[in-house]
Structure 1
């Protein structure tokens, strides 16, 4: 086995373990608070900080890596300037969202009671500052990755998830549900500190701020904006889940959150297994212009996803209730909570293949330097089809309408991506 494949395998394993600990956090919350107003508040408070982390951090880091590989200017200066750009963007966005805490929360969570809103607000104010550290951590991971330090960035995510849930559990007796706000903040500090020390120890680049809009920084923003919109459109699924579920009875928001995270775990793990093998080959063959091999990789990846996720979907759908009971039913997560979550979980299970396949196919679009079309398809699916389905089915299907919206819109997005790729590149 080549050195690169060993590295890829190790990173994949660490990422899977990190995802498992992220899911463990949801299981622990379910054990402590079940499908209660408190569990709803924890899920609601984390939505916006997580949105900033994944969308802003992911978009700017992807753009940074793209420019880093192509720049002809001094890389050390580019790293300093991009660090300054990412820092200012993270601080500005986070500061605005903290200043306008009440308008922001009431815009998305208008149907909460006064007591629920007070808890969400306290948790939000604990969690929101962590967005700055998380965005910077994502960027530092990018710097380490482009210099071959893959394990450090993967270990940092694992440290964050372990720290988040570990600190929250340790502090629960003293701080109650607010321990999850403290856990989010301190977990981010652990992650950021670990990555910063890794950069310092590696002696790669200085992070001394450098101001001024260079050509490289301008290119970074040109590349980042469509990626930001693409990432935002996918994260809008979660945001819409929170907004709509707040219109139902107490406990629905947390039930939807547990169900989506539960079906998202096998989907993400199995997709990682496929892309870990295929994506490095895709990048190489795209650079060589080998379209025949690219077509084979595309078809092979789709077949792998079908082979892996079709059985997982069948098991999740037909054995939903015993699976939920096995994983969640203890403590405050009662049989009533299991019954609430089961129909939502079943429908979310149907979307596993389509969500994984959409992410996989989009990588081929990015390899073809086409980031606009996937964004357009995502916006149509998430903000158009998804919302329309939810509101059309709410009265008849209750909370399950949220899951149906995800399933139907993800399937529609898949069809659009496949047809366009077939027509454009004969994939």
Structure 2
């Protein structure tokens, strides 16, 4: 077994446990609140903070890694400036979204009663500040990954997910649904503290702020902005899920969320492990001009995805009802909730391979400093094809139209990415 595959294997094991704890949060919500308006409120409140975490953190970290391998300036100073840029960006966005809490929530989530809105707002105010720490944690994970310390970043995600669900469940009897806001905040603090301690102990870099717009910082933004838009377009899937599901009545937001999270679990486990190791290697090989190794990585990764996710898709589709029942049917999540979720889950299962493959292929575009084309493809797929499919199918398929929109648009995006990569780089 190659050294790279051993690393991927170790990271995969940690990520499996981390993702399982993350998924246990959804199971806990379903057990305690089923598919009710309270479950909808918890799921809804976390949407925007999670959007910032994944989009801003992922975009700036990807750009940071790309510039790190090619910069000619002092790397220590570059790291400090990159950290400062990430910190200022995360704080600025979070403060603006907190100041405009009511307009933001009313913009995305309109069909809520006064009581439900008050619950969403309270949870949002608990969860939103955690996005600052989570964005910084993503950046610190990137700094550790480029130095081969993959296990630390994976352990941090495990700590966050375990603390989030553990605190939420433990405090539910005292604080009710608000416990999930408390869990989100303290889980983020533990994750950020763990990664900061890891960086300090390894003595890799100083995180003392360094302000000023250097050429490297400008390059970060040149690379990051298209990635931010691309990541945003992909995360718009989640926002569209929430907004569209709200039209189908109480409980549909949580039902769509449970179905989506269960189908995304295997692809998340696989893709996080692979991209954690492959992207820094890709960036390095691209800097060296080693196109042959890049082509081999691309083909091998695609074969792994087909071998693992196509069978997983078949199992999920044909055994949807027993799977949903096994995972969720307990507590407040009743047999009626199972039957409500099954058709949505089946439709989401069809997107498993395509979503994972799109994430994988996009990393090759980023390594080649081509972040604009994936953004354009994502916009066409998510905001064009996806929305159109939901609109055309909603009367006939109800909430399942949301899942079919994801599957069809993800397949279209996959075709565009593969064809362009083949023509442009012979991948």
CA 1:8 to 1:315, structure 2 compared with 1: closer, same or farther past 3 Å? closer
Q: CA deviation at 1:67?
A: 1.7
User: Could you tell which deviates more after superposition, 287-296 or 185-194?
Assistant: 287-296
CA 1:197 to 1:310, structure 2 compared with 1: closer, same or farther past 3 Å? same
TM-score scaled by length of structure 1: 0.95
1:247 match: secondary structure: helix
| Correspondence 1:114 to 2:114 | yes
Give the Cα–Cα distance (whole angstroms) in 1 for the partners of residues 139 and 111 of structure 2. 36
Equivalent position of 2:327 in the other structure:
327
Equivalent position of 2:338 in the other structure:
338
Equivalent position of 2:18 in the other structure:
18
Equivalent position of 1:426 in the other structure:
426
Q: CA deviation at 1:123?
A: 0.3
CA 1:104 to 1:37, structure 2 compared with 1: closer, same or farther past 3 Å? same
Give the Cα–Cα distance (whole angstroms) in 2 for the partners of residues 329 and 224 of structure 1. 42
CA contact (8 A) 2:65 2:280 kept: no
Residues 222-241 of structure 1 aligned to structure 2 (within 5 Å): 222-241=222-241
CA contact (8 A) 2:37 2:250 kept: yes
| Correspondence 1:361 to 2:361 | yes
Q: CA deviation at 1:190?
A: 0.4
Give the Cα–Cα distance (whole angstroms) in 2 for the partners of residues 278 and 199 of structure 1. 21
CA 1:74 to 1:272, structure 2 compared with 1: closer, same or farther past 3 Å? closer
Equivalent position of 1:220 in the other structure:
220
CA 1:142 to 1:114, structure 2 compared with 1: closer, same or farther past 3 Å? same
CA contact (8 A) 2:11 2:273 kept: no
Say what the alpha-carbon RMSD is for the aligned residues: 1.9
Equivalent position of 1:141 in the other structure:
141
User: Could you tell which deviates more after superposition, 327-336 or 267-276?
Assistant: 267-276
Equivalent position of 1:43 in the other structure:
43
CA 1:411 to 1:172, structure 2 compared with 1: closer, same or farther past 3 Å? same
Residues 242-281 of structure 1 aligned to structure 2 (within 5 Å): 242-272=242-272
Give the Cα–Cα distance (whole angstroms) in 1 for the partners of residues 244 and 307 of structure 2. 33
Q: CA deviation at 1:269?
A: 2.5
User: Could you tell which deviates more after superposition, 280-289 or 386-395?
Assistant: 280-289
1:370-427, Cα deviation, whole Å (9 max, x unpaired): 2111110011000011011111111111100100110110011111112212222333
CA contact (8 A) 2:60 2:224 kept: yes
1:246-272, Cα deviation, whole Å (9 max, x unpaired): 111100000000000000011223445
CA 1:340 to 1:12, structure 2 compared with 1: closer, same or farther past 3 Å? same
1:375 match: secondary structure: helix
CA contact (8 A) 2:66 2:367 kept: no
| Correspondence 1:317 to 2:317 | yes
Equivalent position of 2:381 in the other structure:
381
1:53-75, Cα deviation, whole Å (9 max, x unpaired): 00001111111122222222222
Give the Cα–Cα distance (whole angstroms) in 1 for the partners of residues 114 and 85 of structure 2. 38
CA contact (8 A) 2:69 2:284 kept: no
Q: CA deviation at 1:8?
A: 3.1
Equivalent position of 1:198 in the other structure:
198
| Correspondence 1:7 to 2:7 | yes
Give the Cα–Cα distance (whole angstroms) in 1 for the partners of residues 185 and 105 of structure 2. 19
User: Could you tell which deviates more after superposition, 363-372 or 194-203?
Assistant: 363-372
CA contact (8 A) 1:270 1:309 kept: no
1:313-363, Cα deviation, whole Å (9 max, x unpaired): 111111111110001000000001101100000000011111111112222
Give the Cα–Cα distance (whole angstroms) in 2 for the partners of residues 216 and 259 of structure 1. 42
TM-score scaled by length of structure 2: 0.95
Unaligned runs of 5+ in 1: none
CA contact (8 A) 1:12 1:276 kept: no
Equivalent position of 1:67 in the other structure:
67
